[in-house]
A and B are shown apart, each in its own frame.
Chain A
Amino acid sequence: MRAVIAEDSVLLREGVERVLRDAGIDVVGSYGTAEALLSTLPNDEPDIAVVDIRLPPTHSDEGMRAALEIRARHPGVGVLVLSQYVEVGLTMKLLAESAEGAGYLLKDRISDVRDFVGAVERVGSGGSAIDPIIVSTLLSKRRSDDVLAELTPRERDVLELMAEGRSNQGIAERLVITIRSVEKYVSSIFDKLGLPSGGTESRRVLAVLLYLRS
């Protein structure tokens, strides 16, 4: 897997580079600005771009704009956005039409090396990675008719991991249950929420997030 990094803090850029290299990912480019990232992207031909949301020169939304541009113009390249703050609004803006090849994580997650590498690999291969904080925020959101209350605790766990973009395999490993059980929980959840089941894992991420956000 080929990765490029855009991060203005040298300390973190080198840290991420090292983590990815150690995990056997080929870091083909490492930049301090969104401009450098975008201009070399066609040459770098990465599978994934890891982008800090705040980049020079104004440190406002340059990273986000770069991420959206990559998603629009290079649909084959996965984008993982790292941010000091994770916000529901930004998540929905990044995902927009699809959760395919899109990730949005709190920067702190870098230090959970194994999880972080897992997220990079997922996004790099067309999957998604949504920060648990986003998912828990959406789950805790008050709504007038609370269908979520009808979920069993186990179903809730599965729903959370599903919304983070994890595969059935990943969920099964995390909860130490069989893939078969995971599939059963997933179809029960979709029934209860009244969502059409099936589709790719990325597609169900967006469906679940949209449901939770409404």
Chain B
Amino acid sequence: MTDSAIALAPVRDGSRVPSHAAVWLIALAGGGAAAISLVIALTNDAIGLELGEPLVIALLADFITISYVFGGLVAWWRRPASRLGPLMIVAGFVMFVTTFAWSENDVAYTFGQALDLVPPVLFLHVFLAFPEGRLHGRVERTLVATAYVTAIAFELVRMSLGGFGPHNLLEMTSSPAVAEGVRHFQLVTVSALCLCGVGVLALRRRRSGRPLRRTSAVLVDSFALGLIMIAALLVSATFGGPWVQEIRWATFVTIGLAPVAFVVGLVSARLARVAVSGIFVELRSEPEPADLRDALARALGDPSLTLAYWLPDFESYADLEGHAVELPGAGKRAVTRIDKDGEHVAVLIHDPSLCEEGELLDAVTAAAGIALENARLHAELRARLEELQGSRARIVEAGRNERKRLERNLHDGAQQRLIALSLELSLLEEQLGGDPEAATRLAAARSEIAASLDELREVARGLHPAVVSGHGLEVALEQLVAHAAVPVRLTVSIGPRLPEALEVAAYYLVSESLANVGKHASASSASVDVTRRDENVVVEVADDGVGGALEEKGSGLRGLADRVEALGGTLRVWSPAGRGTRVRAEIPCAP
């Protein structure tokens, strides 16, 4: 993470939050100030001469005072880290102080008149300092400082030159012509500086080269409009242009609306936080990386958002396409890091104004962290499942091969030898001729051997159904059906031979299911269907018995499910009480 990102990260320092008492005091003072301005305007005649209808102009001045004081309070309270709030409050109160110039009290008048041009400069300051409450770079600072000097110093010079009437305490000499020249210079300079401010705003917007967040865009536009109006007002007042009155009213309204736009922006940011709950819902469904960026951009209301992943192996950031991403330098775009469990995961590169909405950013970052972690866990889980599936298939396959080998050994070894032995005894019996006792004993020995052979046959068949691998599923199933405890309708349509593992699994499935039908189902008939459907072999055994069989109950069914699942298939059992049992396996098989 770069220094710029740290510098831009919102500082939420609890000590800077204004206390409730301070908020109430300032609000009360703002209200009081507005009332005082109104009283001054209505009780003094002087105002009417220059500014027009006293009530209208007083109400407009009050509108600006209240708008900036209360807008500033909201800003201060919501964004304690930003100096914008206090600056706006100051602007509101300075606006109030300038209304002292309507007073007939000498001190009040002198004070108010001295600050007469400060409010436009303060508005310029506020607009340029948005959103952090700081000015960026030397140009902006020079601009604002020049404006302050022009507004205050030249005002004092002008007042010392006289021409302000009887209440001006600063009058030293009376040179109205020089004073008029200073006034022209002063007004034109402040107008020009305001227009420079518009240029700065426009430049700032162009330089970012990305769509601004909607609330920011509206605000910046209202700032620029305010500055243009101030410039227009000052120029028209200087040169006595037409409709000075109307321009003045319009300017006051425009300037007073800027804090309103600002508060609306804050409220919509609050609403945006509601969108964070939406993002959790959206991200829950394992989003594609591109969807994740879009969802984050939507939740933050910042279409310019970039999501850059941290690649630990390369020690750099990359976007979705894997292109390297350079973190922006100070003062341009802001960077917020996404960490998960102490691991650096990604960064969001976003509009700096989002730093003012720290909670929103935090919530979205947390959501993104969870989503990214989810995606990682899902990927890991998938990899492990695949591994597990593979190892289960290998275990089943190894077991099957081993059993097949054992069956072969029994067949080629013990069984053949026993048959040969039995034959030998039989031939011996013939040689011995008529000895009845020997014949009886030999017959007994042969029947022992026959019993052993039967048992061996059962063992061998249990180990591996040689008939299945030798002659195919269809041939082998016929024997199972013939041995079944109930009449069974057998349908097999699978075409040519299937892979041996699949045939063996299907054989055991039918064998076990038919055994269950005989043991538990109290059925009167059953059916076995083996069909090939697209890429799958479907094996279904159904009976008309009592139902109620559960997969968990019989370990036989669990073992069958293992076999089927090891081949990537699925096994389902339907067994509603009183309505028979249906066991159905679908096993994928390459065409």
Chain A: residues with CB nearer than 8 A to chain B? 9, 11-12, 15, 18-19, 22, 53-54, 59-61, 64, 84-85, 87-90, 92-93, 107-108, 110-113, 137-138, 140-144, 213
Residues of chain B with a CB closer than 8 A to A141's CB: 481-484, 487
B419 to A89, Cβ gap below 8 A? Answer: no
Residues of A within 8 A of B416 (CB): 9, 11-12
Determine the chain A residues whose CB is within 8 A of the CB of B474 once the complex forms: 89
> What class of interface size applies to chain B in its complex with A?
35 or more
Q: Does B242 contact A (CB under 8 A)?
A: no
A144 adjacent to B423 (CB under 8 Å) = no
Q: Which of B419, B426, B427 has the most CB of A within 10 A?
A: B419
Shortest Cβ gap from B335 to chain A (Å): 68
Binds A, one of B55-63, B93-101, B291-299, B464-472: B464-472
Do B424 and A87 touch across chains, with their CB atoms under 8 A apart?
no
The answer for the CA separation of A47 and B374 in the assembled complex, in Å, is 76
Q: A93-B471, A111-B422 are in contact. Are A84 and B446 (CB under 8 A)?
A: no
Which of A59, A110, A213 touches B423 (beta carbons < 8 Å)?
Answer: A110
Interface SS of chain B: helix, strand, loop or mixed? Answer: helix
Within the complex, the shortest CB–CB distance from A111 to chain B, in Å, comes to 4
Proximity string of chain B (403-433) to chain A, C-beta cutoff 8 Å, 1 when within and 0 when not: 0000010011001110110111111001000
**8 interchain residue pairs of minimum CB distance:** A89-B478, A89-B475, A111-B422, A60-B470, A11-B420, A111-B423, A9-B416, A87-B479
Asked whether any CB of chain A lies closer than 8 Å to the CB of B461, the reply is: yes
- Scoring B460, B466, B482, B484 by chain A CB atoms within 10 A of each residue's CB, the highest score goes to B482
Smallest beta-carbon distance B401→chain A, Å? 14
- A110 near B487: Cβ-Cβ < 8 Å: no
**A12 to B368, alpha carbons, bound, how many Å?**
75
B467 & A142 in contact (Cβ 8 Å cutoff): no
**Chain B min CB distance to A140 (Å):** 8
Number of A-B residue pairs having CB atoms within 8 Å of each other in the complex: 105
Q: What's the Cα separation between A107 and B476 when bound, in Å?
A: 18
Expressed in whole angstroms, the Cα–Cα distance for A163 and B296 within the complex equals 80
Contact partners of B481 in chain A: CB under 8 A: 141
Contact of B478 with A111 in the complex, beta carbons under 8 Å: no
Which of these, B415, B417, B479, contacts A89 with CB under 8 Å?
B479
* A88 adjacent to B427 (CB under 8 Å): no
- Contact A19:B467 (CB < 8 A) given known A89-B475, A89-B477, A93-B475: no
Chain A residues lying within 8 Å of B467, measured Cβ to Cβ, are: 85, 87, 89-90
Asked if residues A88 and B482 are in contact (CB atoms below 8 Å), the reply is yes
CB distance from B526 to the nearest CB of A (A): 10
Q: Are A61 and B471 in contact (CB under 8 A)?
A: yes
- Chain B residue nearest in CB terms to A16: B423
Chain A residues in 8 Å Cβ range of B482 = 88, 137-138, 141, 213
Q: Is the CB of B453 within 8 A of A108?
A: yes
Which residues of the partner chain A approach B466 to less than 8 Å between Cβ atoms? 54, 60, 84-85
Q: Which residues of B contact A213 (CB under 8 A)?
A: 482
Q: List chain B residues, Cβ under 8 A from A108.
A: 419, 422, 450, 453
- The residues of B that contact A59 with a CB separation of less than 8 Å are 408, 411-412, 470
| Binary contact readout B424-462 vs A (1 if CB under 8 angstroms, 0 otherwise) | 111100100000000000000010011001000100110
When C-beta atoms are compared, the residue in chain B nearest to A143 turns out to be B487
- Closest Cβ of chain A: how far from B237's Cβ, in Å? 109
Q: In the complex, A7→B415 CA distance in Å?
A: 14
- Please, how many angstroms separate the alpha-carbon atoms of A12 and B466 in the complex? 20
Set A15, A89, A92: member contacting B420, Cβ < 8 A: A15
- Besides A9-B412, A84-B457, A93-B475, 20 other CB < 8 A contacts? A15-B419, A53-B470, A59-B411, A59-B470, A60-B469, A64-B471, A84-B460, A88-B482, A89-B475, A90-B475, A107-B419, A108-B422, A110-B423, A111-B419, A111-B422, A113-B426, A137-B479, A143-B487, A144-B487, A213-B482
Residue contact A92 to B478, C-beta cutoff 8 Å: yes
Decide yes or no: A11 and B417 within 8 Å by CB, A54-B470, A90-B467, A142-B486 being known contacts: yes
* Structural contact, A88 and B479, CB atoms closer than 8 A: yes
Please, which residue of chain B has its CB at the minimum distance from the CB of A53? B470
How near does chain B come to A206, taking the closest CB pair, in angstroms? 16
29 contacts between A and B (CB under 8 A): A12-B416, A12-B420, A15-B423, A19-B427, A54-B470, A59-B412, A64-B470, A85-B457, A85-B461, A87-B471, A88-B478, A89-B471, A89-B477, A90-B467, A93-B475, A107-B415, A107-B419, A108-B419, A110-B419, A110-B422, A111-B419, A111-B425, A113-B426, A137-B483, A141-B481, A141-B484, A141-B487, A142-B487, A144-B487
Cβ-defined contact, B487 with A84, below 8 A: no
Q: Residues of B contacting A110 with CB < 8 Å? A: 419, 422-423
Q: Given A142-B487, A143-B487, A144-B487, do A112 and B426 touch, yes or no (CB 8 Å)?
A: yes
**Complex formed: what's the CA distance from A184 to B518 in Å?**
38
Question: In the assembly, what is the distance between CA of A213 and CA of B479, in Å?
Answer: 10
Residue among B485, B487, B525 with the highest chain A CB neighbour number at 10 A: B487
Can you name the residue of chain B whose Cβ is closest to the Cβ of A11?
A: B420
Report yes or no: B457 in contact with A111, Cβ–Cβ below 8 A.
no
Which residue of A84, A85, A88 has the most chain B CB atoms within 10 A of its CB atom? A84
With a cutoff of 8 Å between Cβ atoms, the chain A residues found around residue B420 in the complex are 9, 11-12, 15
Alpha-carbon distance between A88 and B482 when the two chains are bound, in angstroms: 8
Q: How far is the CB of A48 from chain B (nearest CB, A)?
A: 19
Residue in B460, B467, B485, B486 whose Cβ sees the most chain A Cβ within 10 Å? B467
Residue of B nearest to A134 (CB): B482
User: In the complex, what residues of A have CB within 8 A of residue B471's CB?
Assistant: 60-61, 64, 87, 89-90, 93
Asked if residues A61 and B478 are in contact (CB atoms below 8 Å), the reply is no
A84 contacts B423, C-beta separation under 8 Å: no
Distance to closest chain B CB from A107 (angstroms)? 6
Chain B residues closer than 8 Å to A87, beta-carbon distance: 467, 471, 475-476, 478-479
Separation of A64 and B423 alpha carbons in the complex (Å): 24
Q: What B residues does A22 contact at CB under 8 A? A: 427
B439 CB to closest chain A CB, in angstroms? 13
Minimum Cβ distance to chain B for residue A25 (Å): 15
A63 to B25, CA, bound (A): 107
Would A15 and B461 be within 8 Å (CB), given that A89-B467, A111-B419, A143-B487 are in contact? no
Residues in A neighbouring B460, C-beta threshold 8 A: 84
- A128 vs chain B, min Cβ distance (A): 19
Name the CB-closest residue of B to A112. Answer: B426
**Cβ contacts under 8 Å, B412 to chain A:** 9, 59
Alpha-carbon distance between A85 and B419 when the two chains are bound, in angstroms: 13
